[in-house]
Structure 1
Amino acid sequence: MTITTPGVSPVTVTSGITLSVDGVDITVPKGTLVIRAAEQLGVEIPRFCDHPLLAPVAACRMCLVEIEGQPKPQPACAVTVAEGMKVRTQVTSELAEQAQQGVMEFLLINHPLDCPVCDKGGECPLQNQALSHGRAESRFTGVKRTFPKPINVSAQILLDRERCVSCARCTRFADEIAGDPFIDLLERGAKQQVGTSSDQPFDSYFSGNTVQICPVGALTSAKYRFRSRPFDLISTPTVCEHCASGCGLRTDVRRSTVLRRLAWDEPAVNEEWNCDKGRFAFGYAAEGRLTHPMVRDESGELVVASWPEAMSIAAAGLRRAGSRTAVLTGGRLTLEDAYSYSKFARSVLGTDDVDFRSRPSSAEEIEFLAALVAGKPVGPTYAELESAPVVVLAGLDAEDESPMVFLRLRKGARLTGVKVFTVAPFASAGVAKVNGRVLTAVPGAEAAVLDSLADEVSGARDENRLEAARLLREPGAVLLVGERLAQSPGALSAAARVAKATGAALGWVPRRAGERGALDAGAIAGLLPGGRPITSDAARREAAAVWGVDPASLPGSPGRDLGAVVAAVNADTKAIAAAAKPSDVVRSVQALLIGGVEANDLADPAAFVAALDAVPFLVSLEQRHSEVTARADVVLPVAAVAEKAGTFLDWEGRPREFAQVFREALTLSDSRVLAMLAAELDASFGRGDIASVRGELASFGSWHGDRAQAPGHAPPEAPSVGSDEVVLATWRQLLDRGLLQEGDPFLGATARAGVARISAARATLLAVATGEAVTISTATGSITLPALVTTMPDDVVWLPANSDGSNPRVTLGAGHGDIVRISGGVV
């Protein structure tokens, strides 16, 4: 049962509606439902269909109360309060009590008595309320209805129809919250049941929420079904590690195994919802795990080693490389771990070649982040998205890349009329669900569209641009930019100009959970923790004071990003190969220290792998076997999220701390491993435990000194496109072939199939229709997918970035904004 404001003391407001509930007066705001007013007095009225985040429907009739002046009991979940209203609940009214008992008896007539095997048993509102508000004995002696069971509503969600009490929570959630009206109540009377269209499965990124809010065991998940009883589980509040939304979760463990995750009630962040990726994608921690340190022996093979041996070899290699070591990290890192990498690079190795962006990026992005994001206070916030007059998205598909941002935008669009615009080549499914409008931009040309918003009249011939430009100037307007803008030259500069010209709040929404924290921790070239520029003497003095080192020992100029490091390693290799005396060539990168980087996520996977092969010394801190560990000289296993405590910063900049789920886990966090490595190097570093790292981060405080200037890059001229060429648009879908989704075949089966989106004119030119094959190719390779005709520019094609049969970076060597060839059929 959902109780929104539990308590026993009357709650009063200075102005509003005064009524009495069971003889106790209470004043509540106008429009308050009777059931909410009773909650504020601590009176628990039974209910099944009621949910504070869903519109009332009074479907189950369990919450009947007696209201003076009404001829019969009324549903407390659907009646709003009125001045002087006198309400009597089951506590004081025999009529209300009998009405509730009658409803309960009616609901149980056809409900199966299978509580011992039902997944909901032990945490079931129907069980609880049958005991507290039902009759002691059943008078029904007939035959209960039955249905074949279970029905696959989707690959992940299973339905036991005879358990359903027709509360409509699931259908209302799908329709109101997620915007995926793929399930509905079918038939009438005793035959009424939840069902789907015969040709349309329950295709939703948020389907798992229907299982959690189902007040009976009608909906269950394939992953958890018949796995455990709730009283056998140990529950821990945690935070999702899959994206930057920062969703609060509850992780349930039995016998040292995670069996399920549920959305936690976090009103300021994810309310009571989460996406299926965050709910079901936790099996990866058991897939291909590294369990022991490994070192490369004399024959070149990786062999298991002891921790002291591995640490000794790693320290020796890093000592030789010194400041010619580059530190590259990925999006899995917590704030504390990213800070430890940042500190280790500067205070132990003396290098500023640091980059957390294990994805396509740019130097312009570093300037943007340093000037406008790093170390800034929390904001814009989720709440501000709901109340904004307009939210403009640029380089961001919220449903795929930040699901909670999408749900808040949908809520705002539905309830308060928030206008949503997206700078994109077409309106995705998520944009349509928030009633969004497209500010059409060919990939690579987003800067020109954004610049037109900075000048209120420059887009006057485009009504959507003109309205977006006008609304951005209203108080509370928000501009959200995604990491994809880093692939569009000049776009982040244009976004900064728009924010400055309009006064709109500017938010950066990365795709990975650890990126905002890594930025604030200084795990990027040119920045120390808190957004301090490394070129500032004052900033280096503050960092040195916290770290207990000499300020002169810290690097004083910005280092290289990941792309520049990879290019330098490969350039060193070419120089050595061309040199008459290779030993005379001094490498600019002697070693790599890598944590959480996957080659296929990068702009040029082949170049990265070549650099891994070529660098003289490579240390990998990793959870699982990967292309990096396969080439490393030393591999050090580190803890997964459930095996440590930590903090993620969500896209708002809000700290999201989480506890250690497996308290008996022997695996070490990245911070602890780096501390051990620093000790082996005789460096002052600290213990690396969670408390001391958080203490150091707190010691930095806010930075009030000089900051970098916002970038001012001009957009390049649009490239010319041949008759058989198009510009590639691409981004990752929420459910794809990501490594953190491994280990759950049910979730994988719900991923959206890859398609190639093209315009109607392009489809005509290629002589193909929706569903027929088109081939996109470069000199590197080709991808063939079914076409999906979409309203979009004729010279653009969209491909999913990491789905089955479609990984343009790996297969085509091309990314967002690159030119590719297109043809009809299979080549």
Structure 2
Amino acid sequence: MTTTPEKAAAGEVERTDLVNVTIDGIQVAVPKDTLVIRAAEQVGVQVPRFCDHPLLAPVGACRQCLVDVPDAGNGRGFPKPQASCTLPVAEGMVVNTQATSPVADKAQQGVMEFLLINHPLDCPVCDKGGECPLQNQAMSNGRAESRFSGGDEGIAPAIKRTFPKPINLSPIVLLDRERCIVCQRCTRFADEIAGDPFIELLERGAQQQIGIAEDAPFLSYFSGNVIQICPVGALTSEAYRFRSRPFDLVSAPAVAEHDACGSAIRVDHRRGQVMRRLAGNDPEVNEEWITDKDRFAFTYAHLDDRITYPQVRDTDGNLRPASWPEAFAVAARGLAAAKDAGGVGVLTGGRLTAEDAYAYSKFARVALGTNDIDFRARPLSAEETSFLAAQVVLTTPGNGGVTYDDLESASKVVLVGLEPEDEAGAIFLRLRKAVLAGRTQVVALAPYTTRGLGKLSGRLVPTAPGDEPAAIRSLLEQSEYGIDSTAVVLVGERLATVPGALSAAAELAAKSGARLAWVPRRAGDRGAVEAGCLPNLLPGGRPVADAAARVDVATAWGVDALPEAEGRDADAIVAALAAGELGGLVVAGVDPLDTADPAATRAAIEGAGFVVALDLRSSEVTALADVVLPVAPVSDKSGSFVNWEGRLRPFEATLSNPSSLPDLRILSGIAEEMSLVSAAAPLGFRTVAEVRAEMAQLGPWDGVSTSSTTGAQPVEPSSSVEPVETTDGVDHLRLATWKQSLDNGRMQDGDKYLKATARPPVALVTRAVFDAHGPTITITGDRGSVTLPAAVADDLVDGVVWVPANSFGAGVLSDLASPGSRVRVEGGQA
């Protein structure tokens, strides 16, 4: 390759890896190894295809994409039509597609006729009817009339192949085998992309079909993708089957709300009800894949317990319906009194859009006069607040933030306190893509080799809960891990429960030159950091302790001053409520079961002087609140999520439902009422557009802070896990836990088919513990006992027991103990 300085300056770089081909008489230069079918697309020719998919390896299974490649005198030709989806271009190659070649056209018509021999004529009842590639291409590239006949002139009637139908590949994926054209998209996706090869080709010849083993259903967190990429109606979903037709649906782009990946989705709705969700096409984020949770978990917004009107508590102590003006007025008076009685805390949770989070941040400072605000309704540590301020806020793609593309190009990706298959599905798929391409090695600090890590061919650094700081530092001390500036360190939010772990991760990145990224579980967490839903941060990363930062925000908001002292975090807010140091609480969709101490949180809310709850569905919090205000789900409002990269993911409202309002509109109404009864100022906005304009005007903080919270504060790590102790036949083990992708989360309620695909709760133990106590064990912590089936994890760290966090009962945090604490393990009742 030769490039002159002038050409380099102009962005013109000569490329020696281009190949010149002629397609339908048009010359085009394409990169070496480009498939003919892709080269044809570049000249505007769409070659028909079924098995081909740009994100799957070429297979040439359907043969529908045949093209004519004549000999142009350079030895690049073929005597017969070739499958363009498997044929790479060559210098001087001449390709004639169906647009110019009778040979190619006849070949494609013949393949189409062959595919239709056994395909049923059930288009009027097939879910794929109206959006079916087979339908479309049968009309555009097939014969005008069928020759499939029989019964005349002594010819026996022709009979199409049939099978019993449907069969369940899983509780949610159904297969109609007679519709299958054996393109193998589904088996290739399961094997190449998800790493869950439970479905496979069975039989041979005319009887070849897709199937599963009798004792191995297709249980994958990504199984719904095979339904979407199936080019016929062979694979359908149990939840959507026979419910609608494509031409009855209105489609809208949206962003998945279940995790921090920011996956693009498409929402199809009819007459005010969401009928299905599909993966959107976003090459920079989720490409064309989404998890089953993103695809199917949307019915929670339409359950019978959805709150459809404001409620206030009457003098008899009962909640009664109220109008919006009355609810705003009652909430304003109660919060004003609570503010005077000691102050009001704000717990926002992680479901909020960035605009709603900004509204809560401003409401806390302007209306309530407090920095007692926190979005982290989960176990946390004081160390995390400084870590978020120093390592996370304001990092975006192009501004120090790690991206999905960076994961694909990294030599090493270190996972610390993060299980991507369970906690961030789009990250898992990108990592698997990079691993299969041979570009990336995954190293995980975990108590055992998880199923997801196994599919990433990852290297395990055996780490018991509490040992993470030492394990992280060992990565620097041992050169065999190869952590350098080409590596990426992904830190999960649960690492915050281990003292010193976040400091160690920051130290690892600083000393090795590796890039560091924080991956929370919930869609609204990262936006809440940027919006200032933390006791030590104002919007745009401005430190509360920095006087210049406070003046900057106060000026933009048009108020005299902001509260100076850093506020209480979520745990401290709960403790202050219990001690009577706070007079009230504003809580937004926080489930006490997710907090560090569910019983303490529940008691604090019950004992609070005045509680305002903004929620979508009835809960134990709304049952205790003095004012309950119904908020709109993501399908009913516009907004933005900020994903783990720091990438803004805006979306518009899909549906319109007058029974609820966006959080920001509700807070605006309360603030306006409070300005009439106290010294509080109104928020100054009512719509998402107004909030976005204010956020843009305020912008990020570019001042030099002297606050101690802007640097990650080193914390003394906890001691190593003690060896196994056995007394009277009881083992004392360290508890490891995290949430699985599909569990008992409230935002997964309402779809029984999706729930049936969740992995059953199993306690993982070492072989020695299993032999001593299995196959059923009872685990006892300081909050209660649970009895679960036991299974052996071959490389589980000694002295550890692992259980899923929210797959049984009320969850580990409520029924058992805090993560990392010591629990007793003994034989349970079978």
Within the alignment, does 1:825 sit opposite 2:823 as a pair? no
1:299-448 aligned within 5 A: 299-322=316-339, 324-378=343-397, 379-448=401-470
Which residues of structure 1 form unaligned runs of 5+?
A: 1-11, 460-465, 573-587
1:570-581 aligned within 5 A: 570-572=578-580
Contact 2:396/2:402 (8 A) holds in 1:
no
1:82-481 aligned within 5 A: 82-141=90-149, 142-287=158-303, 288-322=305-339, 324-378=343-397, 379-454=401-476, 458-459=477-478, 466-468=479-481, 470=482, 472-473=483-484, 475-481=485-491
1:664 Cα offset (Å): 5.4
1:109 and 1:523 map into 2 onto residues whose CA distance is 62
Contact 1:492/1:711 (8 A) holds in 2:
no
1:201 and 1:160 map into 2 onto residues whose CA distance is 16
Within the alignment, does 1:782 sit opposite 2:785 as a pair? yes
User: Secondary structure in 1 aligned to 2:579?
Assistant: helix
1:569 Cα offset (Å): 1.6
2:704 and 2:735 map into 1 onto residues whose CA distance is 39
2:626 and 2:752 map into 1 onto residues whose CA distance is 34
Deviation string, structure 1 residues 486-525 (Cα, Å, up to 9, x no partner): 1111100100110101111100000000000001000010
Contact 1:728/1:796 (8 A) holds in 2:
yes
Which amino acid in 2 is paired with 1:293? P
Contact 2:221/2:292 (8 A) holds in 1:
yes
2:411 and 2:38 map into 1 onto residues whose CA distance is 29
Q: Which residue of 1 aligns with 2:6?
A: none
Which amino acid in 2 is paired with 1:437? R
Identify which range, 483-492 or 665-674, moves more after superposition. 665-674
User: Residue 802 of structure 2: which of 798, 801, 823 is its match?
Assistant: 798
1:688 Cα offset (Å): 2.5
1:571 and 1:94 map into 2 onto residues whose CA distance is 85
User: Secondary structure in 2 aligned to 1:175?
Assistant: helix
Contact 1:283/1:741 (8 A) holds in 2:
yes
Deviation string, structure 1 residues 231-271 (Cα, Å, up to 9, x no partner): 11011100000000100000000111000000000000000
Which amino acid in 1 is paired with 2:590? V
Q: Which residue of 2 aligns with 1:745?
A: 752
1:111 and 1:609 map into 2 onto residues whose CA distance is 59
User: Secondary structure in 1 aligned to 2:402?
Assistant: coil
Deviation string, structure 1 residues 655-696 (Cα, Å, up to 9, x no partner): 000110014545210000000111101223112301110011
1:713 and 1:664 map into 2 onto residues whose CA distance is 48
1:126 Cα offset (Å): 0.2
1:640 and 1:806 map into 2 onto residues whose CA distance is 24
1:370 and 1:804 map into 2 onto residues whose CA distance is 35
Within the alignment, does 1:569 sit opposite 2:540 as a pair? no
Q: Paired residues, what number?
A: 783
Which amino acid in 2 is paired with 1:506? L
Contact 2:498/2:718 (8 A) holds in 1:
no
Deviation string, structure 1 residues 394-430 (Cα, Å, up to 9, x no partner): 0000000000000000000001331001111001000
Contact 2:383/2:712 (8 A) holds in 1:
no
1:370 and 1:24 map into 2 onto residues whose CA distance is 56
User: Residue 82 of structure 2: which of 74, 77, 99 is its match?
Assistant: 74
Contact 2:261/2:427 (8 A) holds in 1:
yes
1:764 Cα offset (Å): 2.8
In the TM superposition, structure 1's runs of 4+ consecutive aligned residues that sit over 3 Å from their partners are 12-15, 663-666
User: Secondary structure in 2 aligned to 1:506?
Assistant: strand
Within the alignment, does 1:40 sit opposite 2:74 as a pair? no
1:806 Cα offset (Å): 7.1
1:175 and 1:779 map into 2 onto residues whose CA distance is 43
Which amino acid in 2 is paired with 1:626? S
Please, what is the CA RMSD of the aligned residues? 1.4
Deviation string, structure 1 residues 591-649 (Cα, Å, up to 9, x no partner): 00011100111110000000011111000111110111000000011101000000000
Which amino acid in 1 is paired with 2:52? D
Contact 2:593/2:810 (8 A) holds in 1:
no
1:763 and 1:690 map into 2 onto residues whose CA distance is 55
Q: Which residue of 1 aligns with 2:719?
A: 717
1:603-618 aligned within 5 A: 603-618=596-611
Question: TM-score, normalization: structure 1?
Answer: 0.93
Identify which range, 31-40 or 786-795, moves more after superposition. 786-795
1:779 and 1:599 map into 2 onto residues whose CA distance is 17
Within the alignment, does 1:758 sit opposite 2:751 as a pair? no
1:805 Cα offset (Å): 4.5
User: Secondary structure in 1 aligned to 2:618?
Assistant: coil
User: Residue 688 of structure 2: which of 687, 690, 696 is its match?
Assistant: 690
Which residues of structure 2 form unaligned runs of 5+?
A: 1-12, 71-76, 150-157, 676-680
Contact 1:729/1:815 (8 A) holds in 2:
no
User: Residue 518 of structure 1: which of 523, 528, 531 is its match?
Assistant: 528
2:721 and 2:514 map into 1 onto residues whose CA distance is 31
Which amino acid in 2 is paired with 1:795? G
Contact 2:356/2:662 (8 A) holds in 1:
yes
Identify which range, 174-183 or 777-786, moves more after superposition. 777-786
Deviation string, structure 1 residues 732-757 (Cα, Å, up to 9, x no partner): 00000000000100000000011000
Contact 1:386/1:416 (8 A) holds in 2:
no
Contact 2:414/2:489 (8 A) holds in 1:
yes
Question: TM-score, normalization: structure 2?
Answer: 0.93
Contact 2:465/2:721 (8 A) holds in 1:
no
Deviation string, structure 1 residues 174-205 (Cα, Å, up to 9, x no partner): 00000000001111111111101111000100
1:826 Cα offset (Å): 2.4
2:522 and 2:177 map into 1 onto residues whose CA distance is 38
Deviation string, structure 1 residues 18-48 (Cα, Å, up to 9, x no partner): 0000110000000100000000111010000
Deviation string, structure 1 residues 305-343 (Cα, Å, up to 9, x no partner): 111211111100111122710010111100000000000
Contact 2:809/2:815 (8 A) holds in 1:
no
User: Secondary structure in 2 aligned to 1:236?
Assistant: strand
2:126 and 2:307 map into 1 onto residues whose CA distance is 37
User: Residue 633 of structure 2: which of 618, 623, 640 is its match?
Assistant: 640
Which amino acid in 1 is paired with 2:566? P
1:779 Cα offset (Å): 4.2
2:15 and 2:474 map into 1 onto residues whose CA distance is 47
Q: Which residue of 2 aligns with 1:585?
A: none
User: Residue 620 of structure 1: which of 605, 608, 613 is its match?
Assistant: 613
User: Secondary structure in 2 aligned to 1:339?
Assistant: helix
Contact 1:386/1:418 (8 A) holds in 2:
yes
Q: Which residue of 2 aligns with 1:656?
A: 649
Contact 2:308/2:659 (8 A) holds in 1:
no
Which amino acid in 2 is paired with 1:765? A
User: Residue 596 of structure 1: which of 589, 596, 614 is its match?
Assistant: 589
1:77 and 1:132 map into 2 onto residues whose CA distance is 19
Contact 1:493/1:714 (8 A) holds in 2:
no
2:828 and 2:455 map into 1 onto residues whose CA distance is 32
